[in-house]
Structure 1
Amino acid sequence: MPKLQISLKARALRYLSMREHSRIELARKLERYAQDGDDVAALLDTLEAAKYLSAERFSDSLVNRRIARFGNQRILAELQSHQMDSQEIARIKSALSVTETDRAIEILHRKFPDKAIDHAEKAKQARFLQQRGFSQKAIQLAMRAPREDELDN
């Protein structure tokens, strides 16, 4: 029996039912399946008009997935790679900047429960946070923050 052909709209709705997608990401996925005469841009416009595709929902979803592991720089870079507009990025940036230091402390203490005793270990911990996309200010504050075992003493 031949395989059933799924329409482009049904495929788009299936992708969106799994998780939020940016417009460019969804367009890239749908281009593979577009037949002659299929207008992917028009379909995306229709999905946006029907509120199935939303840049704000996508950016909030991406932030919620990444916030427990990454810093502001990494999250904002990922949003820019999805070609989000500058207003949306500014909104997310202001919301993220409030919690960056607390997130850096939590991530650092979860990965390295013991305080660094020598310069090499301090550099290793700082590099870890830097690779996660945290700012220098957040890294410095996280490195100075007391560990749980220090608070008990």
Structure 2
Amino acid sequence: MAKPQMSLKARALKYLSSREHSRLELGRKLSRYAQEGDDVEALLDWLEASRFLSQSRFSESLVHRRASRFGNSRILLELQSHGIEGEALSEIKSNLAQDEASRAKDVWSRRFRQPPADAAERAKQMRFLQQRGFSHSAIQAAMRAAEAEADEE
């Protein structure tokens, strides 16, 4: 016996029960299953009106998941790819900027554990942090803090 087809609304609620989704991402996922007569945009509007779908909750969730591993530019780029723009993005940017240097230091210490021995090693460590999306000033602050800790020991 064939499984009954899951409705678009049930599928959307299933996706949202596992984790937060952006409107753009959920719309993309649901459009694969939309049949003739299904209105994905109307469903997304209903989900937002019913507060099942929230861009602010999605943004907070993504920032929370990514902040311990990535820098501001990488997180903001990912938010933009999910359709988060304008005032919400600038507010998130200002909140992230406050602790970027300490997050860079934490990422650095988990990966390297000891300060660079020479210029080549320093460049390698700085490139690692740069690839993770940290700003130049945060990378410099993290490297200075790591070297200061090594001098204290």
Give the TM-score, by structure 1 length.
0.96
1:49-88 equivalence runs, <5 A: 49-88=49-88
Report Cα offsets for 1:61-113 as digits up to 9, x if no partner.
00000011000000000000011121110111011000100000111011010
The separation in 1 between residues aligned to 2:24 and 2:106, in whole angstroms, is 33
Q: Is the 8 A contact 1:105 1:143 kept in 2?
A: yes
- What letter matches 1:15 in structure 2? Y
The separation in 2 between residues aligned to 1:83 and 1:3, in whole angstroms, is 34
Structure 2 runs not aligned, ≥5 long? none
| Structure 1 partner of 2:129 | 129
| Structure 1 partner of 2:2 | 2
The separation in 1 between residues aligned to 2:11 and 2:47, in whole angstroms, is 12
SS of the residue corresponding to residue 146 of structure 2 reads coil
Pairwise CA distance, 1:148: 8.7
1:97-136 equivalence runs, <5 A: 97-136=97-136
The separation in 1 between residues aligned to 2:147 and 2:109, in whole angstroms, is 7
Give the TM-score, by structure 2 length.
0.96
The separation in 2 between residues aligned to 1:25 and 1:6, in whole angstroms, is 19
Aligned identity (percent) is 59
Runs of 4+ in structure 1 off by over 6 angstroms are none
Count of residue pairs the alignment pairs up: 153
- What letter matches 1:28 in structure 2? R
